[in-house]
Structure 1
């Protein structure tokens, strides 16, 4: 059999404990994102529910579970709730700057504090500074790093007076939207709700770029870690019939 060198090949991982649902095991199907066709391939695969990690595109392929659901926010129809507007107000003293995916020791220090506080026993807990650099740099698609810092006296005109790094988001720019690959923030600033703030900021960035969607990865109904994603309405979920508008119940809307 002849295989064209640009044709993606897919592989299946062995079962491993699920990080979201106790007692379940996960498997993933994945392929490599390499070469000049990588951006187009990522666009296509994202439509099918894949996510990116470095130069790998993957999606769940569990044998007995279909709990992971791909989620995207409809940017043009999104209206923030009252609590979201309060989050935006609390973070008016921050400035977000988008740039090339270039790692730094300051980023890694924040990343390390975030992991130690929020995900001390997770799969990323042992990541070294080199691992972090690979996560940021190793991409053959259009990837950006958004860094959020305290505003300085001259931040309106120059980034030279920007203050300490408070949060950061690794983000892919695709044909129809932005995809938040990974984000982290200062764990001692819990009152800011920085996770929510970064999503709100990315919605506005996508709107200004004329992109209709913000991709948030997977939502798992019974996972408390994923509960925050359902608050950003309206949104589409990927199901057997393709992407469809999701109607949340009353508890989820609250």
Structure 2
């Protein structure tokens, strides 16, 4: 019995200031020519700790830091907590729609979100060029899960679809929402919405990107249980 293997070309960036931890330097390993290789190999790369940004596919590769841990939720095993049930009830009047292509009004919502919620981050100030380069991909198939308060668009979850003969996974690529709805915890509600839809679409796992223990903005991800984290090349389960 033989096993096929494939070699992919990658490169390593020079160190640059970390986006998540103060006084840290970050280095990335990048897939070369993603427009050629990513469509075929991204499901495998995602399962090995990689993520995408626009067309680019990357993974943290920091010599003295392993704080970034990919996190995913086995959809069929997920169980709602009491606080998550309360949040769903609180937002029960919101309407959820799924689009296969982005709408023109997304950017205004994205701009308000970045300039308000992430005004201290590397994506500030939001621009249309930066938005297009970040959101769009020539090789990736995404769903755009929209949340409305009556006729008002208040949140968008961009969700990558990774479908192979062996598995069906979704990746929560990015969520942006109306800052005026801070009390509705739309970031957490968007994940709960993705999980509900994932059950309906027979999805095996929902990837939530990186968890970083000492980054407060990332800590909410461990509230979805059970979940798995990619540590030292293996997926470990957490309750």
Task: Decide: shared fold, TM above 0.5.
Answer: yes
**Does the 8 A contact of 1:103 with 1:133 survive in 2?**
no
- The answer to whether the 8 A contact 2:53-2:135 is kept is no
CA-to-aligned-CA distance 1:43-69 (integer Å, 9 cap, x gap): 010011000111111010001000100
Equivalence for 1:173: 161
Partner Cα separation in structure 1 for residue 95 and residue 57 of structure 2: 31
What SS does the aligned partner of 1:34 have? helix
Aligned to 1:34: 35
Aligned partner (choices 166, 177, 181) of residue 189 of structure 1: 181
Asked if structure 2 preserves the Cα contact closer than 8 Å seen for 1:33 and 1:41, the reply is no
Which runs of no fewer than 5 residues in structure 2 stay unpaired? 1-5
* Aligned residue in 1 for 2:3: none
Partner of 1:111: 110
Give the deviation of 1:102 after TM superposition.
Answer: 2.1
Match of 2:225, SS state, is coil
RMSD: 1.6
TM-score (norm 2): 0.90
Structure 1 Cα separation of the partners of residues 181 and 237 of structure 2: 34
Uncovered stretches (5+) of structure 1, i.e. residues with no partner? 1-5, 152-162, 248-254
Task: Report Cα offsets for 1:100-120 as digits up to 9, x if no partner.
Answer: 23241x211111111111111
Aligned partners of 1:189, 1:139: CA distance in 2, in Å? 32
Aligned length: 229
SS at match of 2:35: coil
TM-score, structure 1 as length reference: 0.85
What corresponds to 1:134 in structure 2? 133
Secondary structure of the corresponding residue to residue 156 of structure 2: strand
